[in-house]
């Protein structure tokens, strides 16, 4: 049984309404956020009309604000936004959907003010406005907003999507817009994209930060407008499950880009057009690429499978693994194997990794799998190949190996020390001194140094070779 002093609803009820009211006044003093919450609760007692009035007033205040939203204020500002959004959805929408629709649209319009004042680019704001887009779709359906009015509002919003706040709007509005609404929106976007170039407004100049002549600025504005329209038309194509319309919105010069090819092939596969998907993927421009993105390679393997060419898909996955040592390729390969066959294939992959020309890729593979014992084995045989300049890999590896494989961790630490001293990188001496101290702490846990020098002998050799680097040694005293 909870103590009488435990903070829970039942114990607080025992204080009585008057005392609780006094405490709330006391606690809210000096806190604008708490006061706004209490006013909202009081408004709720008066009905949704009063709540809507409070929300509208607060949103207007947020839109007019000029102060910069520093990183440490993001959480509080976003909490305020969430309070307004939640009240619209849970209180106003239940009683007056049309009023709620106007409010959620006013809420979305506040995004410009928020993003202009924020220097943190915090994803929390983006998530809040994306959720509001979803809310707007639900409220629009229940409010019975006319499709022409709704299409016009969505069109206007998409023209002002500088911060991506309206990115999910079309997908969320599909149920409310319906086929006719999507057609109207599509026609508006096509018309907007095809309009003659116009002199951009001052707001547009600020967006582009362009100081060139009017002709150049008009051209940039037109291209920007066409890009926005193209993205929106792609969203409509997805809403209509029209892969050909989606492809038609891709500029010719981008069709051979790997990520665009992936987007198209995914949609073609869903439409049961695997042959076309493979042609799109294989038509990608490989020039200047050491290797293709993993996503493209896996999309190609999945497309081969969709065509019934499972063995070819598996051979391709293994080939990709051998070229890159990307563990995701190996995992995808192993998932397709029968029980016990995967064990043999895994052992084959590990043996291949041990002989991979680039020891650092092999190390990264074993660490990521994770296989610390295999990483330690690799280091014992190929420590001379280590590049101590790759400090991120060496540092993370040493951290992972230090507990159960202290010798392997020591090798990684020594590689960074050696790089700093051999190349007289004075900016790294402080880190090298710390690594040497870590080596000293690991030494008592190493039973056999094998071919490596014991710690004292290693330090003596460092002094012999680099005794004149006083900036380093002074950090050890």
- The count of domains in the chain is 1
- The verdict on residue 186 lying in a domain is no
- The verdict on residue 143 lying in a domain is no
- Identify the pLDDT of residue 44: 54
Structure tokens at 209: 């930060």
- Identify the pLDDT of residue 69: 93
- Identify the pLDDT of residue 224: 83
Cα-based angle 320, 333, 287 (whole degrees, multiple of 5):
20
- Identify the pLDDT of residue 85: 96
- The verdict on residue 56 lying in a domain is no
Domain enclosing residue 395, as ranges: 363-477
Separation CA 351–CA 349 (nearest Å): 5
Whether a cis peptide bond, with omega within 30° of 0, leads into 126 is no
- The verdict on residue 397 lying in a domain is yes
DSSP 304-346: HHHTT-HHHHHHHHHHHHHHH--HHHHHHHHHTSPTTHHHHHH
**Spans of the chain, pLDDT less than 70:** 1-5, 7, 11-12, 15, 19-47, 120-121, 196-216, 477
- Identify the pLDDT of residue 286: 83
CB-CB contact of 182 with 174 (8 Å):
yes
- The verdict on residue 452 lying in a domain is yes
DSSP 225-259: HHHHHHHHHHHHHHHTT-HHHHHHTS-GGGTTSHH
The residues near 69 (Cβ < 8 Å, ≥ 6 apart) are 77, 114, 117, 118, 119, 120
- The verdict on residue 257 lying in a domain is no
- The verdict on residue 196 lying in a domain is no
- The verdict on residue 438 lying in a domain is yes
Phi, psi dihedrals of residue 151, rounded to the nearest 5°: -60, -40
Separation CA 176–CA 142 (nearest Å): 9
DSSP 121-171: --HHHHHHHHHHHHHHHHHHHHHT--HHHHHHHHHHHHTT-TTSTTTTHHH
- Identify the pLDDT of residue 215: 54
The residues near 324 (Cβ < 8 Å, ≥ 6 apart) are 291, 294, 361
- Identify the pLDDT of residue 122: 77
Structure tokens at 327: 């563990």
- Identify the pLDDT of residue 46: 59
């Amino acid at each position: 049984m909870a103590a009488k002093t435990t903070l829970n609803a039942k114990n607080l009820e025992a204080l009585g309404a008057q005392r609780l009211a006094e405490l709330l006044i006391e606690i809210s003093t000096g806190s604008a956020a708490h006061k706004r919450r209490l006013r909202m609760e009081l408004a709720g007692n008066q009905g949704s009309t009063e709540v809507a009035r409070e929300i509208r007033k607060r949103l207007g205040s947020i839109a007019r604000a000029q102060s910069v939203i520093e990183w440490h204020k993001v959480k509080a500002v976003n909490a305020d936004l969430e309070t307004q959004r939640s009240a619209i959805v849970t209180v106003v929408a239940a009683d007056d959907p049309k009023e709620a629709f106007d409010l959620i649209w006013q809420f979305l319009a506040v995004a410009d003010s928020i993003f202009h004042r924020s220097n943190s680019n915090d994803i929390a704001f983006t998530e809040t406005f994306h959720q509001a887009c979803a809310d707007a779709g639900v409220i629009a359906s229940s409010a019975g907003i006319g499709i022409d009015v709704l299409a016009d509002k969505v069109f206007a919003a998409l023209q002002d999507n500088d911060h991506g706040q309206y990115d999910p709007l079309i997908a969320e509005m599909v149920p409310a817009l319906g086929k006719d609404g999507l057609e109207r929106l599509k026609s508006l976007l096509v018309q907007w994209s095809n309009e003659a170039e116009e002199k951009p407004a001052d707001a547009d100049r600020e967006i582009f930060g362009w100081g060139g002549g009017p002709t150049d600025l008009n051209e940039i504005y037109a291209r920007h407008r066409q890009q926005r329209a193209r993205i929106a038309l792609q969203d409509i194509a997805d809403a209509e499950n029209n892969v050909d319309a989606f492809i038609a919105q891709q500029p010719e010069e981008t069709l051979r880009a790997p990520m665009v090819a992936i987007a198209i092939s995914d949609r073609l596969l869903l439409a049961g057009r695997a042959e076309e998907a493979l042609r799109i993927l294989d038509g990608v421009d490989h020039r200047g690429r050491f290797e293709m993105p993993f996503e493209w390679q896996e999309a190609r393997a999945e497309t081969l499978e969709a065509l019934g060419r499972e063995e070819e898909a598996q051979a391709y996955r293994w080939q990709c693994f051998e070229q890159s040592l990307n563990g995701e390729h190996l995992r995808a390969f192993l998932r397709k194997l029968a029980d016990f066959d995967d064990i043999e294939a895994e052992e084959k992959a590990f043996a291949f990794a041990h002989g991979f020309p680039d020891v650092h890729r092999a190390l990264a593979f074993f660490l990521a799998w994770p296989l610390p014992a295999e990483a330690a084995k690799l280091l014992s045989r190929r420590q001379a190949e280590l590049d101590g300049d790759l400090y991120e890999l060496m540092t993370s590896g040493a951290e992972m190996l230090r507990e159960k494989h202290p010798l392997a961790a020591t090798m990684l630490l020594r590689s960074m020390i050696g790089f700093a001293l051999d190349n007289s990188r004075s900016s790294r001496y402080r880190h090298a001194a710390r690594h040497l101290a870590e080596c000293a702490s690991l030494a008592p846990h190493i039973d056999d140094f094998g071919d490596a020098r014991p710690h004292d002998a290693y330090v003596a050799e460092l002094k012999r070779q680099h005794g004149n680097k006083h900036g380093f040694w002074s950090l050890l005293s």
